[in-house]
């Protein structure tokens, strides 16, 4: 097996995926809060 040296792996793709996931989760959460407020005000 090849020897692994800590900190040498390129993780740019994983970092971008994680950042996109956090961004999506945050936006979706905000959308759900806005939707809940909208329904609380206008639902009959």
- pLDDT averaged over 10-residue windows placed end to end, the chain, 44 residues: 84 97 98 97 86
Query: What range defines the domain where residue 20 resides?
Result: 14-44
Q: Considering the domain boundaries, does residue 18 fall inside one?
A: yes
Q: Considering the domain boundaries, does residue 22 fall inside one?
A: yes
As for how many domains the chain has, the answer is 1
Instruction: Give the span between the Cα atoms of 16 and 31, in whole angstroms.
Output: 22
Instruction: Give the span between the Cα atoms of 44 and 35, in whole angstroms.
Output: 15
Cα 4 to chain centroid distance, Å, stands at: 29
pLDDT score at 37 = 96
Task: Region of 37 please: left (phi>0), alpha (psi -120 to 50) or beta.
Answer: alpha
pLDDT score at 44 = 66
pLDDT score at 9 = 87
Q: Considering the domain boundaries, does residue 7 fall inside one?
A: no
Cα 28 to chain centroid distance, Å, stands at: 9
């Amino acid at each position: 097996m090849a020897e692994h040296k800590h900190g040498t792996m390129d993780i740019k793709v994983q970092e971008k995926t994680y950042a996109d996931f956090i961004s999506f989760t945050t936006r979706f959460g905000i959308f759900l809060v806005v939707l809940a407020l909208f329904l609380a005000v206008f639902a009959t």
